[in-house]
Chains A and B, each alone.
Chain A
Amino acid sequence: MAAISVKPTRMELNKTKARLKTARRGHKLLKDKRDELMRQFLQIVKENKRLRVEVEAGLAEAMAAMSEASRLMSPELLEQSLLYPKQGVEADIRVKNIMSVNVPEYIFRTKTDAAEDIFPYGYAMTSGELDDAISGLSKVFRDMLELARAEKTMQLLAAEIEKTRRRVNALEYVMIPEMEKSIKYITMKLEENERGNITRLMKVKDAILAEAHGFEP
């Protein structure tokens, strides 16, 4: 048994009782937070999984078209065709708050809006497969951005859940039992003192009576 290092005083008792109340309340709140985080987390995990499957499928398709293109075209020409992109992508990050967890949201700006206007080369020298590859990639890229958001959110939520879970457990299995033990210890010690006091008073009373009236106890 761990040594209890609290002073058995009434003041300490009141203080510990107040702390226990706070701890219980905090425990309940944290538990609720954990449950809600978990719900959000599971949603995002599902979304992430769906997006990843989509991205993997889309990329596989685009990559296949790409390797077909590189088979049909000379590497130099392929490289040359793609060297100077017409399209440019820049991202802005907006921070969203889910249950006090800051998660990113990306806002993307592309230089050209039209979906057909992405090919950075003339059509004369390149094979059709390259067009397929590029348009396939640009389609899958939208999902890739979503995937990035979902994955980051998922990771940040996981970290927060882990932290919250640890706190809940620390309160539930360490802090609260410890305080309960302290309270019990102090109460018992105080009662013990009280009993000691009463016995002492009775003894003193007997002694005084014996002195005043010659009573033998």
Chain B
Amino acid sequence: MDYKIAVIGDRESVLGFQALGLEVYPASREEARRVFLGLLEKKERYAVIYITEELAEGLAAEIDELKDELIPAVIPVPSKSGRTGFGMSALTKAVERAVGANIFESEG
């Protein structure tokens, strides 16, 4: 079975990915939820959904729900305006979940 890869983000950030042959969904902050949920309707078709960190922040709850699913992987990536640290925070959260405590806290 073939899966596709989608990118959601502001127009300028995702434009380049279009050239790579990914499915690109430009969306503003307001549209992000609709676009994202629209993609999930056809869930089995997307292996990976990249979403810019800015938009991902507004959809944190929806993304959290998909964490334990095999498909799709929702991966926040920095947009053209640079990284916000949201992607990295997923790392800390996962460690926290596994260890039961935030082991990075002291390193701040």
Which residues does A use to contact B, with CB under 8 Å?
Answer: 38, 41, 45, 48-49, 52, 55-56, 59-60, 62-63, 66-67, 70, 78-79, 82-83, 85-93, 95, 102-104, 106, 110-111, 118-120, 133-134, 137-138, 141, 144-145, 147-149, 151-152, 154-159, 161-162, 165
Q: Which of B33-41, B54-62, B83-91 is near enough to bind chain A?
A: B83-91
Contact mask for chain B residues 40-78; partner A; CB cutoff 8 A; 1 contact, 0 none? 000000011010000000000000000110110101011
Interface size classification for chain B: 35 or more
Complex contacts, A149 vs chain B, CB 8 Å: 73
A70 touches B4 (CB 8 A): no
Q: Once the chains bind, are A144 and B95 in contact (CB under 8 Å)?
A: no
**Contacting residue for B50 out of A48, A106, A144, CB 8 A:** A144
User: In angstroms, how far is the closest chain B Cβ from the Cβ of A25?
Assistant: 24
A70 near B21 with CB under 8 A, answer no
CA distance A79 to B68 in the complex (A): 37
Contact with A along B1-28 (1 / 0, CB 8 A): 1111100000011011111111000000
Q: How many whole Å from B75's CB to the nearest CB in chain A?
A: 5
**Contact A87 B20, beta carbon cutoff 8 Å:** yes
Residues of B within 8 A of A104 (CB): 47, 70-71, 73
For the residues of A in contact with B, the DSSP-based class is helix
Residues on A with beta carbons closer than 8 Å to the beta carbon of B71: 93, 104
Residue in A59, A92, A156, A162 whose Cβ sees the most chain B Cβ within 10 Å: A59
User: Please, which residues of chain A bring their CB within 8 A of the CB of B5?
Assistant: 89, 91
Are the C-beta atoms of B73 and A82 separated by less than 8 Å? no
A62-B16, A67-B80, A120-B19 as given contacts; A161 in contact with B98, CB under 8 Å: yes
B residues touching A (Cβ–Cβ < 8 Å)? 1-5, 12-13, 15-22, 47-48, 50, 67-68, 70-71, 73, 75, 77-80, 82-83, 87-88, 90-91, 94-95, 97-100
Report the Cα distance A163→B2, complex, angstroms: 31
Is there contact, CB below 8 Å, between B20 and A137?
yes
Known contacts A55-B77, A56-B78, A59-B77; A158 and B18 CB within 8 A of each other: no
Selected from A48, A52, A90, the residue in CB contact (under 8 A) with B2 is A90
10 contacts between A and B (CB under 8 A): A38-B98, A45-B94, A52-B87, A66-B80, A67-B12, A70-B12, A91-B5, A110-B21, A154-B94, A165-B100
Residues of chain A within 8 A of B21, CB atoms compared = 85-89, 110-111
Known: A66-B12, A93-B47, A102-B70. A144 touches B19 (CB 8 A): no
For the complex, what is the distance from the CA of A158 to the CA of B99, rounded to whole Å?
A: 8
Which chain A residues lie closer than 8 Å to B48 at the CB level? Answer: 91, 106, 145, 148
State how many angstroms separate the Cβ of B91 from the closest Cβ of chain A. 6
Q: Beyond A70-B12, A158-B95, is A106–B47 a contact (Cβ under 8 Å)?
A: yes
4 nearest A-B residue pairs (beta carbon): A87-B21, A152-B73, A88-B21, A161-B98
